[in-house]
């Protein structure tokens, strides 16, 4: 992503069409903000921000007709630099962004987990099924579809070893019970 951001920052002012400059600027802001939010190495973030800031300052001096666009980008970068500084000085502000997780079992196993926790552990047992499912979809970056229908199908099938039983066995095994 870092290379993409640098490439965009160099391209922004090589284009004469104002609408394309605005599109590239928006893309630069979006990618830069995402990078600053997800990158845990604050020194790398700071280095990139300073490099992009320098590039924009040079372009501002070379292309006075784009002064407003440059000022906007500089404002965004200065804001990200300040956020980075705060994160460095106040480690309690740092949020660790985990790598995306991948659900590697069946959809039915995940649906079983969702239904198993619904009235038990989420929002004091008042979690709405759709919201819980949406959270699991987000965490694992998958689309479950209509889980009520799939759960109904699961209930009518011949019982086999359930996922929750496998979780229980695995936990007991780790606890050496």
Q: Using pLDDT thresholds of 50, 70 and 90, give the confidence band for residue 75.
A: very high
Q: What is the pTM of this model?
A: 0.51
Indicate whether 97 pLDDT > 60.
Answer: no
- Mean pLDDT of the region 171-175: 92
Domain limits of the chain?
2-93, 107-175
Burial of residue 45 (CB within 10 Å: 0-12, 13-18, 19+) is buried
51 confidence band (pLDDT: 50, 70, 90): very high
Residue 96 has what pLDDT? 61
- Long-range Cβ pairs for the range 170-176 (8 Å, 24+): none
């Amino acid at each position: 992503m870092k290379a993409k951001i640098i490439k965009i920052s160099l391209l922004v002012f090589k284009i004469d069409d104002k609408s394309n400059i605005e599109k590239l600027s928006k893309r630069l802001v979006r990618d830069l903000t995402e990078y600053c939010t997800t990158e845990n190495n604050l020194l790398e973030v700071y280095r990139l921000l300073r490099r992009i800031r320098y590039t924009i300052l040079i372009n501002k001096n070379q292309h006075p007709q784009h002064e407003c666009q440059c000022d906007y980008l500089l404002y965004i970068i200065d804001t990200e630099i300040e956020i980075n500084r705060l994160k460095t000085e106040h480690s309690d502000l740092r949020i660790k962004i985990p790598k995306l997780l991948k659900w590697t079992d069946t959809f039915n196993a995940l649906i079983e987990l969702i239904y198993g926790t619904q009235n038990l552990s989420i929002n004091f047992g008042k979690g709405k099924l759709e919201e819980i499912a949406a959270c699991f979809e987000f965490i694992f970056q998958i689309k479950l579809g209509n889980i009520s229908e799939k759960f109904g199908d699961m209930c009518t099938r011949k019982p086999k070893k359930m996922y929750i039983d496998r979780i229980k066995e695995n936990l007991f095994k780790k606890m050496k019970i």
